[in-house]
Amino acid sequence: MKILTFGEIMLRLKTPGVERFFQNPVFEATFGGGEANVAVSLANYGMDVALLTVLPDNPVADSCVRELKYFGVDTSRILRGPGRLGIYYLEAGANQLPSKVVYDRENSAIAVAKPDSIDWEAAFADVNWFHISGITPSLSETAMELSLQSVKEAHNRGITVSCDLNYRKNLWKYGKKASEVMTVLMDSVDVAIANEEDIQMSLGLSSEIKVESGKLDREAYKALTDKVLDLYPNLRLIAVTLRESYSASHNGWSGCMNDRQDFYVSRRYDICNIVDRVGAGDSFCGGLIYGLNHYDSHLDALQFAVAASCLKHSVNGDFNRVSAGDVEKLLQGDGSDRVQR
Amino acid sequence: MKILTFGEIMLRLKTPGVERFFQNPVFEATFGGGEANVAVSLANYGMDVALLTVLPDNPVADSCVRELKYFGVDTSRILRGPGRLGIYYLEAGANQLPSKVVYDRENSAIAVAKPDSIDWEAAFADVNWFHISGITPSLSETAMELSLQSVKEAHNRGITVSCDLNYRKNLWKYGKKASEVMTVLMDSVDVAIANEEDIQMSLGLSSEIKVESGKLDREAYKALTDKVLDLYPNLRLIAVTLRESYSASHNGWSGCMNDRQDFYVSRRYDICNIVDRVGAGDSFCGGLIYGLNHYDSHLDALQFAVAASCLKHSVNGDFNRVSAGDVEKLLQGDGSDRVQR
Amino acid sequence: MKILTFGEIMLRLKTPGVERFFQNPVFEATFGGGEANVAVSLANYGMDVALLTVLPDNPVADSCVRELKYFGVDTSRILRGPGRLGIYYLEAGANQLPSKVVYDRENSAIAVAKPDSIDWEAAFADVNWFHISGITPSLSETAMELSLQSVKEAHNRGITVSCDLNYRKNLWKYGKKASEVMTVLMDSVDVAIANEEDIQMSLGLSSEIKVESGKLDREAYKALTDKVLDLYPNLRLIAVTLRESYSASHNGWSGCMNDRQDFYVSRRYDICNIVDRVGAGDSFCGGLIYGLNHYDSHLDALQFAVAASCLKHSVNGDFNRVSAGDVEKLLQGDGSDRVQR
Amino acid sequence: MKILTFGEIMLRLKTPGVERFFQNPVFEATFGGGEANVAVSLANYGMDVALLTVLPDNPVADSCVRELKYFGVDTSRILRGPGRLGIYYLEAGANQLPSKVVYDRENSAIAVAKPDSIDWEAAFADVNWFHISGITPSLSETAMELSLQSVKEAHNRGITVSCDLNYRKNLWKYGKKASEVMTVLMDSVDVAIANEEDIQMSLGLSSEIKVESGKLDREAYKALTDKVLDLYPNLRLIAVTLRESYSASHNGWSGCMNDRQDFYVSRRYDICNIVDRVGAGDSFCGGLIYGLNHYDSHLDALQFAVAASCLKHSVNGDFNRVSAGDVEKLLQGDGSDRVQR
Amino acid sequence: MKILTFGEIMLRLKTPGVERFFQNPVFEATFGGGEANVAVSLANYGMDVALLTVLPDNPVADSCVRELKYFGVDTSRILRGPGRLGIYYLEAGANQLPSKVVYDRENSAIAVAKPDSIDWEAAFADVNWFHISGITPSLSETAMELSLQSVKEAHNRGITVSCDLNYRKNLWKYGKKASEVMTVLMDSVDVAIANEEDIQMSLGLSSEIKVESGKLDREAYKALTDKVLDLYPNLRLIAVTLRESYSASHNGWSGCMNDRQDFYVSRRYDICNIVDRVGAGDSFCGGLIYGLNHYDSHLDALQFAVAASCLKHSVNGDFNRVSAGDVEKLLQGDGSDRVQR
Amino acid sequence: MKILTFGEIMLRLKTPGVERFFQNPVFEATFGGGEANVAVSLANYGMDVALLTVLPDNPVADSCVRELKYFGVDTSRILRGPGRLGIYYLEAGANQLPSKVVYDRENSAIAVAKPDSIDWEAAFADVNWFHISGITPSLSETAMELSLQSVKEAHNRGITVSCDLNYRKNLWKYGKKASEVMTVLMDSVDVAIANEEDIQMSLGLSSEIKVESGKLDREAYKALTDKVLDLYPNLRLIAVTLRESYSASHNGWSGCMNDRQDFYVSRRYDICNIVDRVGAGDSFCGGLIYGLNHYDSHLDALQFAVAASCLKHSVNGDFNRVSAGDVEKLLQGDGSDRVQR
């Protein structure tokens, strides 16, 4: 089982703790990005996963590659090309003060990569599962073309395609609306992951679900996901993350899934002292891909994905530094802490 | 619109995080003090504000001035004189362990400044609003005299005077009781800000209000503030901050205001992961002065002040490092976190 | 009044904040261990307390001794011998992610010390109270023999013996079960401290109490502690700590005590933003020994112990860096924070 | 006397101490850039100086502006526009291991600013001295046009123009050679600053001077600077910095100047424990502009510039955090340390 | 070309900067050990290298493996077994204050590994070059047996064997003298690396060479290395590192080599601001193995090794974080710093 | 042998590394002061030493006492009284940039202590050696009176009195000149320590010695110290420290001594990478008192003092964190570094 994820990996410059920008003249400097985060999750669970991306050829990008190796991600399919290493600045919030992200990712190597710059045969060698998100096609016209190519190439090879719809309103600047592109891309997708807003903005389907209520409107979610499954016949299942955002420090977290056979609802976690919620959706995707490949039951897969991404909220950085064992302990236990000694 | 605040700015030596004194051989070193905190808030909201204070002439005090410039505070009215830079040590608490403040501010330059050392004509040039607190007159006999001079000089020039009653029991050591001085000072005040304890200790008015209950006794507060307004005919309005202190990490926060026309009660915020509550009252004052000068409605002004000071609890340091936009987002939203990206 | 505690002190290597192992290439490096933690608590409360332990003769162990001196612990009875300084690695958790402890304490100087290596006459000179825990006899066969010797030697000298039953499942590797040893050791004990699990694993007494429920089953605890008192006629009293573990960040904390005369239940504290819970049980022991020697009432002693160990949850490190005054303030107050200035 | 400097200010991301990239997941985050560094030096010496630059409109750029305010630089002429905040990464070397700079400054706001985007009338209001460097015209075709405009506009207004020739081989990518542009720009320059390589690469004048020798070839430098003065009749004087680079930690530092009247050679400093040499040339420019405006003697001005930039080697960051008093102490003394207490 | 190195990798706990033990309650936590350091050097130069070692099965050891992956070292031959992760504590010196190392490596997994615990067939699969040092046989009787086995197994397979004689007086505690073992091991060695003291203590050959003199006694080194080559007919060449130790901050560094054909002497480097000299010998070995496999000339190989290990003195940590390109720049240049931008 | 030192201990707030004030918002926070530094040196060498001082009664001063305990200094004679904890700010220099000290020590507890506030009988109980410096009498009129009392009381009890003349030009503000007081104090002194400037400013003896020359003018120093011995018949010996200050990073360091029998000159150390020279003179005093009590030869004592204080330059903080063993290693060796492992 070999997994390939395709997308941008950026330098993440975060203020320490919950400091405001330049409260201290320092940034925590790590790396992150939706599909890279998924790859790291999968490597942490012991899976064979490669990241397909384009990076510039300089020592900072070299460090990025090394960091992926640290986690055991296969970096042999990473290309080097013109353009820069994308950056995002993160000012972490707390309580009523939300986190702020400032993107500086224009003209990144992946955004300026030409449509014919990827040798799909080499990229997909031995690959059984391909993962992409709605971020890659939002970066530039050429990145959009590469994205559409990628899913088609994967689909044609019989590779399972998963996609995190992942809508970012500050991207999509090159002239296309998300829904124009994502609805096409979805035709090649087998497994979709999304939240309420993603479905609405990426697929153009509106609903009146309010996740903030803290009570899952089971019927509404079933109806919405049924609608998606109806529209995209290739789609085998769709999973939805449900975040109740009480404050920057306190969220509820759960998920649901529709696999045409059944509609599943996960356990719900109350997370009162959030350490870092960036990358939680990606860690859900990583957990789901792992779960779908390790459990017979789709509910078990969903529960794994939700538990894994619940834990992500307690880990600083985009990458979900937990093992499958850590997730299983949460699944088996009650989420309380007995110091493990 | 030019605002002048008058008071001491100190070096603040805080243990990192929630460490006890000298758990690590290091102090976070920033600056703070009631009126300086108000000035920084106002500068952050884009207002033209100067701090009037006295500092010694040494490189550490030079850094203090530079830090004020960083925030855009006009430092041209800062005087240099004999005496030292006051200091306060802060050991931050959490849960049931309260924060501890150790003052080392005796013989500071402002405390030893002579009554005739300030040229009021220069200090008040172009000023429309003057802010002082109950701390400045508590520092020394001469600081008390300068404080009384300042409000009279402001009042005589038709400048609006606001005062944060701000009672500190470890100050007032030079022989006067707070109420002896503050009741005189209040005769020149247009806008008063206080909490329960301040009103009692600074104005000698007792009440049996218990803010800890978590439920605002609206009638009691109306009655108490009516009494203050009756006693001080120059007073246009009085605003009261309401802190419910469940633990060092968890407070409720709201406010009310009486403008002789009406009695207003603000939205209440539940703050469960307090980062730093020192300076919250000052950030309320800053928000109120901004609000009274930018909104037609007094309730809107109060809501801005409460929201601004709610956010202060998530910012480390005396200064409230948020913009008017940050406050407005909280006012418009629901205090939940959607990462802003 | 001179107290002696006997046990291992280790180097504690903790990740900063709530970081995962090697997220940064750094460890917080402090010292800790059950009986040393008790000694530091007692020294912090102004008591004359010595630690009896064995350390290697190298500069890192020298720093350990200096650190104990910092807190005023009498280090004159510390022996130097072959073997190493034990270590434990700690990865701090948050929310649903539990803390992890990795022990590296085999072949420590105390574990390899020979049974005849301690001069009990010198060790117990002037001592009135002796404290040990269930950890020391778990380290090695020889440490077990030294432990049994120690309580007998103390008992024979008329010294009060307290013991924290403290069961650690990852120790006890040398061939004996905890209950085989601890039931013997208990014959010389006057004051026992334990939690539910300790009683079960160390004394072989089972019960069906579930502390997680958040509601103290008073009758069940009375019955269980009655049973212990029945079995060990030398025992004057037994105190039990009650932890309700909702998450790694949120616990309830209280205690009860049975002194054959009466059964006491303490106030309960809700701790929502745990800083560090390691050593909380030790700080309870320290508080109890102090309380039993300073208060006439056993309930007062219990309340002191519970309040002291409640505060420990807000202090990073094994040592409970609070004074008797800090504990008394919590006992007198309501656990809310009014910044102390 | 009002000075204007024009150029890019970047975010500087430096590894801590002499660490290699990502040895720790952190960057020191400060700001710097040739002309901004000059402005900060001048503000530190008490001069009235403004920076003319273009920045994007985001919170990171806001912090950049605040940082300039901290040093007292007039930021009122800073424009906001499309494009990004340029970045440079710095890995500091030591001994035989040189420092490395990775530029990420393409498409910065100043590089993409349109030629007509600056209102020169407003920019030059009250300005008496204008400073630019060879970096600005290297950034992009439009930045080159703005640069040429700027010196002409300044010259036409009778403003003294100084220029640091400052050749950077990794810039100049848009199609022009440095010498094609700089020779034109020089026609409007009154005061030029350069090192050997700058003169060669920016003005196309070759010489066989070897600065590494540690012995100044006085005649060769006089001849070379005479040649420059002959070629550019508007030029009043040219100053040359002389760096002998023995290792990344040890340099010799001095300077010389030709003002058509005389040829001056400064004192030479041996700097054996370099803290940070980036920005030394800029601090020389700042010192020279200050010196030319404060001393009657050109030699005194040169000595000030060399001493000021000698001190820069002991200050981390692009900005030369020393006062005129600090420089004067070095000029009067012998460069030895007597702790100033 | 596949290289295998065999030896212990330890946790390295270093005080920050040049602090004394526990001056701050923190340790820099990285990994290191002779043969692992060689492996990282080789991986940094782009070679295919695996580390053969034994580690315990716990999360700290997992991080050690990840760190090796970060550098691209093949970790697939690392075994897990009983025993602990060895540790060494490092207090860095400066000037006249030497660095101190405290070993805590007894009972490490490699030291307690049984002689038959390594499958040599698997370990040596595809291997062309094998590297070991005099440290591995010093750890324990079984480690000595494994060491002797390893070189014989390598030799029998026709694999080139290199050995760093590396004498450590605080090891060799299990009953054998270094010279008893190393003289046997040398029979299977093709390439030896050593310094003066190593030759004397490991091979029992005395000489009266004083490296501190700063002047290489060419004839004496030729004679000494001739003697070694005479004694060990299998030996193809021996390289010697020459450290002149003026202080903890200032060393001279060079090397020489005898390949039976010729005697080579390298360039000498003066290193005045040493950052970290631990691991310099290992980086010499890494450089030499690279050099012997990439250059036709043995002198070129020696020069590469000396330059690579010269650079190591400017890198904190055991690992030599430089690329082949970094070394080549030093070889081509003059060791002075021109900031590379 | 019991030693008592008498003087002020302050909070030392130093910028990290060689940063300028507030380059980062943090101070290293340790404690120091001449006589306390001497006490710590002596405790480090295993001697029984107490510090006599006056401190305020607050948690920061409590930490100061604990820090002294850490080093094994007897703190039982420390008094608590009104006044503050003195502070000094330190900005560390490098190369040509000197370190800066800003004193904030007025109105410290020792400066405001009344002449009758010390019970000399208790203070001198069991004491054989008393040490004071010229700093204590410079603090205030009352501190001067206490200083004169102290030496007389010591002298009358037959206690050996040592005094570091230690002139500080920024103190002595209360109306007396140093020489007016120190010449009186010297009548009770047995052992004097000084540098050139101290002798001149504290004793009013001028000479034309220039220590910067790097060559000791043996005859001049002999003559000068002869003069001092002639003037003060009680004086047994005088030791002089000789600092050659080439830069803030590079000093030469040696000493000489005149004991009426002989004139001794020590070995000279060249210190090229100074870490922290503050407290070097105090560490010389500590080394000398130790040496005079442990060696028969006065030259040996002087050599120990010079070596001990040479090492101080490599230790950050006022306290000389080295053992007698560390000093002896330097005395026996050549000051080069062989890593001690």
pLDDT tens, residue by residue, A279-336: 999 999 999 999 999 999 999 999 999 999 999 999 999 999 999 999 999 999 865 5
Annotated catalytic, E74? no
Residue A217 confidence (pLDDT): 82
**What's the gap in Å between the CA of B195 and the closest CA on chain A?**
22
Which two structure tokens, joined as six digits, stand for F220? 């001049």
Chain A nearest-CA residue for C24: A28
Residue A10 confidence (pLDDT): 98
Instruction: Give the chains touching F; criterion: ≥3 Cβ pairs < 8 Å.
Output: A, B, C, D, E
Residue C206 confidence (pLDDT): 80
Contact (CB<8Å) C72/F69: yes
Please list every residue in chain B whose beta carbon sits closer than 8 Å to the beta carbon of residue F15.
Answer: none
pLDDT averaged over every residue in chain C: 95
With pLDDT > 70 as the criterion, what percentage of chain B qualifies?
Answer: 95
pLDDT averaged over every residue in chain A: 95
Mean pLDDT of D149-155: 98
Evaluate the CA torsion angle D158, D159, D164, D170 in order and state its sign.
Answer: negative
Contact (CB<8Å) B58/F22: no
Mean pLDDT of D150-176: 95
Residue D341 confidence (pLDDT): 60
Mean pLDDT of E73-90: 98
**What's the gap in Å between the CA of A296 and the closest CA on chain B?**
35
Contact (CB<8Å) F339/E98: yes
pLDDT, tens digit (0-9, with 9 covering 90-100), for F197-229? 899 999 999 877 765 555 678 889 999 999 999
pLDDT, tens digit (0-9, with 9 covering 90-100), for E188-234? 999 999 998 899 999 999 877 765 555 678 889 999 999 999 999 99
Q: How far apart are CA A287 and CA E190, in angstroms?
A: 51
- What is the value of ipTM here, to two decimals? 0.94
Contact (CB<8Å) A314/C273: no
Contact (CB<8Å) C59/E106: no
Give the total residue count for chain A.
341
Give the total residue count for chain E.
341
pLDDT of B79 above 60: yes
**What's the gap in Å between the CA of C143 and the closest CA on chain E?**
19
Interface test with E, best of A69, A73, A340 (most E CBs within 10 A): A69
Please list every residue in chain E whose beta carbon sits closer than 8 Å to the beta carbon of residue A70.
Answer: 66-67, 69-70
pTM of the model: 0.96
pLDDT of F196 above 70: yes
**What's the gap in Å between the CA of D92 and the closest CA on chain A?**
13
Helix axes F141-156, F178-185, angle to 10 degrees: 10
Which two structure tokens, joined as six digits, stand for C310? 């409640």
Which residue's structure tokens are 């941008």? A8
Q: Which residues of F lie closer than 8 Å to C, measured between beta carbons?
A: 66-67, 69-72
Chain D nearest-CA residue for A58: D102
| Element (DSSP H or E) covering residue A310 | helix A298-312
Bridge partner list, A47: none
| CB distance F237 to F259 below 8 Å | yes
Please list every residue in chain E whose beta carbon sits closer than 8 Å to the beta carbon of residue D100.
Answer: 339-341
Which two structure tokens, joined as six digits, stand for E241? 């590192």
Contact (CB<8Å) E98/F337: yes
**What's the gap in Å between the CA of B67 and the closest CA on chain D?**
6
pLDDT, tens digit (0-9, with 9 covering 90-100), for B103-146? 999 999 999 999 889 999 999 999 999 999 999 999 999 999 99
Residue C327 confidence (pLDDT): 97
φ, ψ for residue E123, nearest 5 deg: -60, -40
Q: How far apart are CA C320 and CA A74, in angstroms?
A: 46
Chain D nearest-CA residue for C26: D24
pLDDT, tens digit (0-9, with 9 covering 90-100), for E97-137? 999 999 999 999 999 999 889 999 999 999 999 999 999 99
Interface test with C, best of B90, B91, B96 (most C CBs within 10 A): B96
Chain B nearest-CA residue for D63: B70
**What's the gap in Å between the CA of D305 and the closest CA on chain B?**
23
Chain C nearest-CA residue for F76: C72
Smallest Cα–Cα separation from F126: which of F72, F81, F164, F76?
Answer: F76
**What's the gap in Å between the CA of C246 and the closest CA on chain A?**
5
Please list every residue in chain C whose beta carbon sits closer than 8 Å to the beta carbon of residue E87.
Answer: 87
Please list every residue in chain F whose beta carbon sits closer than 8 Å to the beta carbon of residue C48.
Answer: none
Interface test with F, best of D27, D30, D334, D341 (most F CBs within 10 A): D341
Mean pLDDT of C8-26: 97
**What's the gap in Å between the CA of D162 and the closest CA on chain B?**
28
C59-85 burial, b if ≥16 CB within 10 A, otherwise e? ebbbbbbbbbbbbbbbbebbbeeebbb
Chain E nearest-CA residue for F313: E95
Contact (CB<8Å) C66/F71: yes
Instruction: Give the chains touching A; criterion: ≥3 Cβ pairs < 8 Å.
Output: B, C, D, E, F
Catalytic residue among F282, F296, F326, F334: F282
Chain D nearest-CA residue for F248: D337
Q: How far apart are CA B246 and CA B266, in angstroms?
A: 20
Please list every residue in chain B whose beta carbon sits closer than 8 Å to the beta carbon of residue D69.
Answer: 69-70, 72
DSSP string covering C108-161 = BHHHH--TT---HHHHTTT--EEEEESSGGGS-HHHHHHHHHHHHHHHHTT-EE
Confidence of residue D206 (pLDDT cuts 50, 70, 90): confident
Chain E nearest-CA residue for F335: E96
Interface test with C, best of F67, F69, F319, F340 (most C CBs within 10 A): F69
| CB distance A102 to D60 below 8 Å | yes
Residue C132 confidence (pLDDT): 98
pLDDT of C212 above 80: no
Contact (CB<8Å) F24/A24: yes
Contact (CB<8Å) B97/C314: yes
Which two structure tokens, joined as six digits, stand for C246? 């909702």
Which ranges constitute the DSSP H helices of E23-156?
A: 34-44, 59-70, 109-112, 120-123, 141-156
DSSP-derived letter for residue E20 is: P
Residue B188 confidence (pLDDT): 97
DSSP-derived letter for residue A213 is: G
Contact (CB<8Å) D334/F97: no
pLDDT of F168 above 80: yes
pLDDT, tens digit (0-9, with 9 covering 90-100), for A201-260? 999 998 777 655 556 788 899 999 999 999 999 999 999 999 999 999 999 999 999 999
SS3 A326: helix
pLDDT, tens digit (0-9, with 9 covering 90-100), for A40-55? 999 999 999 999 999 9
Please list every residue in chain B whose beta carbon sits closer than 8 Å to the beta carbon of residue C63.
Answer: none
Please list every residue in chain F whose beta carbon sits closer than 8 Å to the beta carbon of residue B58.
Answer: 102
Please list every residue in chain A whose beta carbon sits closer than 8 Å to the beta carbon of residue B326.
Answer: 97
Residue D71 confidence (pLDDT): 98
Contact (CB<8Å) B69/D67: no
Contact (CB<8Å) D70/B72: no
With pLDDT > 70 as the criterion, what percentage of chain D qualifies?
Answer: 95
- State the catalytic residues of C: 282
Per DSSP bridges, beta strands B79-80 and B54-55 are: parallel
Q: Which residues of E lie closer than 8 Å to A, measured between beta carbons?
A: 66-67, 69-72
Smallest Cα–Cα separation from D96: which of E327, E291, E279?
Answer: E327
Contact (CB<8Å) C248/A314: yes
pLDDT of A181 above 60: yes
- For B217, D29, D177, D285, the CA distances from D16, given in Å and listed in that order, are 54, 10, 35, 27
Residue A67 confidence (pLDDT): 98
Q: Which amino acid is at C132?
A: I
